[in-house]
Amino acid sequence: MQTAAYFERIADSPPKLRMFLQAMPKGADLHNHLGGSVYAEDYLHWADADDLCIATDSYRIVQPPCNTPGRMPVRGVAENDYARYSRAIDTLSVRGWENHVGDPAVAGYDRFFSTFDAFRGAAEGNVGKAIAVTREAAARDHVGYVELMVKPKAARALQQAVETKAGTDDDFAALSSILNPLLPAVIEQARAEFDGYDTEIAAIEGCKTAQPAPACAVEVRYQIPARRNQSAARVFAEFALGFAMAEADPRFVGVNIAAPEHDPVSLRDYTLHMRMLAFLKSRHPAVPLSLHAGELTLGLVPPRDLHSHIRDAVEIAGAKRIGHGVDIAYEGEAPKLLKRMARDRVAVEINLSSNAAILGVKGRDHPLTLYREAGVPVVLSTDDQGVLRSDMTNEYLRAVQEHRLRYLDLKQIARNGLEYAFVSGASLWQSHVGGATVAPCATSGAVPSIACTQFLNANPKAQLQWRLEQDLAKFESGLYQ
Ligand SMILES: [Zn+2]
């Protein structure tokens, strides 16, 4: 294939590889936290518009008034004080971390996770804008579908309802009986919240005008992530909302669990969380789970905590996808687990820049090749591209440079992104991804037959896959020969 041959000629040139990969259609980004997806420059811009301030000691975004001791207005810093502006960006991201920028006494994981508190003030009131810039980033990277992790604001009402119910952590039926009567109103509020974002985003990107931005073509779906390092009852409340929303609103397609896995509360309650998910899944069997699991490495936690997180996510909670899976080689029965994941098509979302910054795991130490050789489906994702100062093209670039992936490997990964997406509908592929298409589309060329069109209209997943195939064909025929 000419494109693969061209790739071989340029693979050792980072600038040429960047140009090639930037233009390559990449299918989907299945692991993307909305808050972490935004670059610090955008947060500072929005903070300025919202009259928020920067703290003079911590460089976090804080509430007004700004002309008081310990605070400074964002605009003054942005326009007149480059040194402080630069410090603010370094505080809201891990900029330069891999090149040793920043305090060497602060670990990568601490610097990474501290950014979320630092930009929270600017994030909370700008969710619609954040979704819009994330879609714009996807369009720039030729990513057609994004699964974004974001929590509706109405989740708070559920958390408060279970907050003081001591002793119920392990009694899932009791927690459900508190939450279930509240869910209809919370769901209605959450849906209205996201209706508002839809309107705002369409306006920002001109999606209803004669000249819509390329971002308008990017499909977005949402997963609700529970924050794992809080009280167990609150985690349960967030899970319950995730399951309920995925059943109530097609924009919401799955449930996740996030926040530092090495946090003592996360470690203590890990199995409890998996049992909560098993309980809720038994009541909502159609709702799929993608779970952060194994975002750990030796030394960060005691070896016993590396022993079974991925297995428990797969076997107890029934995860369809695993986020990170970095500590797989430390799992108690890793070969057996890898076989099971390959057999059951449990995909792994690989986040190379994230793992390098947070865990210091990169290059040959990263298990990407292990998963691939075991036949486990893999996808590449961004995790927190704004905080990490990366983008999807860069994740593909890293996969080539650090793991020697070739063009056909990347093409498979792009296709996997849509195959393992939680978007509704049947697959375009009969059995294996990239093989024979389903019967209604088997005889279609570039233009789908009537039967194929009907099939695509009824199956959003297949429609996205069809579009990716057209884009790949265009990419391969037009750009690099
Ligand atoms: Zn993540």
Residue 170: predicted pLDDT: 85
Sign of the dihedral through C-alpha 323, 329, 333, 334: positive
Q: Which residues of 203-238 are buried (b: 16+ CB within 10 A; e: fewer)?
A: ebbeeeeeeebebbebbbbbbbbbbbbbbbbbbbbb
What is the whole-number distance in angstroms between the Cα of residue 437 and the centre of ligand 1?
32
pTM over 0.75: yes
Sign of the dihedral through C-alpha 391, 345, 426, 474: positive
pLDDT at 166 over 90: no
Q: Which residue has the higher pLDDT, 447 or 222?
A: 222
**Average pLDDT of span 435-447:** 87
pLDDT at 481 over 60: no
Residue 169: predicted pLDDT: 75
Residue 167: pLDDT band by 50, 70, 90 thresholds? low
pLDDT at 444 over 80: no
Fold for 28-37+126-419, please state it.
TIM Barrel (3.20.20)
Residue 88: predicted pLDDT: 96
**Average pLDDT of span 215-229:** 98
What is the whole-number distance in angstroms between the Cα of residue 323 and the centre of ligand 1?
7
Residue 136: pLDDT band by 50, 70, 90 thresholds? very high
CA distance 321 to 288: 9
Count other Cβ atoms within 10 Å, centred on residue 45.
17
What is the whole-number distance in angstroms between the Cα of residue 456 and the centre of ligand 1?
31
**Average pLDDT of span 197-226:** 98
Q: Which DSSP helix (H) or strand (E) runs through 192? A: helix 183-204
Q: Which residues of 386-415 are buried (b: 16+ CB within 10 A; e: fewer)?
A: bbbbbbbbbbbbbbbebbebebeebbbbbb
In the chain, ranges of CATH 3.20.20.140 domains:
28-37+126-419
Point out the least confidently predicted range of 12-21, 135-144, 443-452, 457-466. 443-452
Answer whether the bond into residue 65 is a cis peptide, omega within 30°.
yes
Residue 322: pLDDT band by 50, 70, 90 thresholds? very high
Q: Judge whether 419 and 437 are in contact, CB under 8 Å.
A: no
Residue 377 phi/psi, 5° resolution?
-65, 135
CA distance 378 to 370: 11
Residue 478: pLDDT band by 50, 70, 90 thresholds? confident
CA angle 475, 372, 375 (to 5 degrees): 110
Q: Which DSSP helix (H) or strand (E) runs through 324? A: strand 321-324
What is the whole-number distance in angstroms between the Cα of residue 394 and the centre of ligand 1?
17
Sign of the dihedral through C-alpha 116, 119, 121, 125: negative
CA distance 64 to 54: 9
Q: Which DSSP helix (H) or strand (E) runs through 4? A: helix 2-10
What is the whole-number distance in angstroms between the Cα of residue 66 and the centre of ligand 1?
33
What is the whole-number distance in angstroms between the Cα of residue 167 and the centre of ligand 1?
30
Q: How many residues does the chain have?
A: 481
Residue 387: pLDDT band by 50, 70, 90 thresholds? very high
What is the whole-number distance in angstroms between the Cα of residue 351 and the centre of ligand 1?
8
Residue 47: predicted pLDDT: 97
Residue 1: predicted pLDDT: 73
What is the whole-number distance in angstroms between the Cα of residue 419 and the centre of ligand 1?
20
CA distance 97 to 92: 12
Q: Judge whether 386 and 317 are in contact, CB under 8 Å.
A: no
Residue 479: predicted pLDDT: 64
pLDDT tens, position by position, 231-252: 999 999 999 999 999 999 999 9
What is the whole-number distance in angstroms between the Cα of residue 259 and the centre of ligand 1?
8
Residue 165: pLDDT band by 50, 70, 90 thresholds? low
What is the whole-number distance in angstroms between the Cα of residue 356 and the centre of ligand 1?
13
What is the whole-number distance in angstroms between the Cα of residue 447 and the centre of ligand 1?
38
pLDDT at 201 over 60: yes
What is the whole-number distance in angstroms between the Cα of residue 32 and the centre of ligand 1?
7
Residue 447: predicted pLDDT: 87
What is the whole-number distance in angstroms between the Cα of residue 108 and the centre of ligand 1?
15
Residue 272: pLDDT band by 50, 70, 90 thresholds? very high
Q: Judge whether 404 and 366 are in contact, CB under 8 Å.
A: no
Q: Got the DSSP string for 365-430? A: GSTHHHHHHHT--EEE--BSHHHHT--HHHHHHHHHHHH---HHHHHHHHHHHHHT---SS--SBS
Q: Got the DSSP string for 197-222? A: HHHHHHHHTTTTSSS--GGGG-EEEE
> For residue 412, what are its two tokens?
């498979």
pLDDT tens, position by position, 405-426: 999 999 999 999 999 999 999 9
Q: Which DSSP helix (H) or strand (E) runs through 321? A: strand 321-324
Residue 480: pLDDT band by 50, 70, 90 thresholds? low
Q: Judge whether 357 and 347 are in contact, CB under 8 Å.
A: no
Q: Which residues of 329-360 are buried (b: 16+ CB within 10 A; e: fewer)?
A: ebbeebeebbeebeeebbbbbbbbbbbbbbbe
Q: Judge whether 29 and 420 are in contact, CB under 8 Å.
A: no
DSSP 298: B
Q: Which DSSP helix (H) or strand (E) runs through 90? A: helix 82-91
pLDDT tens, position by position, 73-85: 999 898 999 999 9
**Average pLDDT of span 14-33:** 97
**Average pLDDT of span 41-51:** 97
Q: Which DSSP helix (H) or strand (E) runs through 294? A: none
Average pLDDT over the chain reads 95
